[in-house]
Amino acid sequence: MLFLEKMIDRRIAEYQSDLLAVHYAEVENMYRQTRGWRHDYRNHIQVLKAYAEQGDLEALNRYLKELAIDLNTVDAAQKTGNKMTDVILNSKISLARSKDITVKADAHVPVALTTTEIDLCIILGNLFDNAIEACMQLPKEERMIRVYMDMKNTQLYMSFTNTTALKKQEKVGRRFLTTKGAGHGYGLVRIDTIVDRYQGYLSRNSEDGAFTTEILLPQ
Residue 187: which pLDDT band, with cuts at 50, 70 and 90? confident
* 171 Cβ contact partners less than 8 Å away, ≥ 6 residues apart: 204, 206
**Domain 78-218 = CATH 3.30.565.10:** yes
Arithmetic mean of pLDDT over the chain: 81
Task: Give the N- to C-terminal CA distance of the chain in Å, as an integer.
Answer: 34
Answer whether 165's CB lies under 8 Å from 180's CB.
no
Query: CA-to-CA distance for 74 and 93, rounded, in angstroms?
Result: 12
Q: Per-domain residue ranges for the chain?
A: 78-218
For residue 128, CA distances in Å to 52, 56, 66, 144, 165 come to 45, 46, 31, 11, 16
75-111 pLDDT, tens digit per residue, is 556 788 887 788 888 888 888 988 999 999 999 987 7
Taking Cα atoms as reference points, which of 204, 195, 201 lies closest to residue 120? 195
pTM value > 0.75: no
pLDDT at 126 over 50: yes
Q: What is the pLDDT of residue 17?
A: 59
- pLDDT tens figures, 135-180: 999 999 999 999 999 999 899 999 999 999 988 887 766 666 655 5
The whole-angstrom distance between residue 5's C-alpha and the CA centroid of its chain comes to 30
CA atoms of 108 and 152, how far apart (whole Å): 11
| Per-residue pLDDT tens digits for 26-64 | 556 666 666 666 667 778 888 888 889 899 989 888 888
Q: How far from chain centre, in Å, is Cα 199?
A: 23
Three-state SS for the chain is: CHHHHHHHHHHHHHHHHHHHHHHHHHHHHHHHHHHHHHHHHHHHHHHHHHHHHHCCHHHHHHHHHHHHHHHHHHHCCCCCCCHHHHHHHHHHHHHHHHCCCEEEEEECCCCCCCCCHHHHHHHHHHHHHHHHHHHCCCCHHHCEEEEEEEEECCEEEEEEEEECCCCCCCEECCEECCCCCCCCCHHHHHHHHHHHHCCCEEEEEEECCEEEEEEEEEC
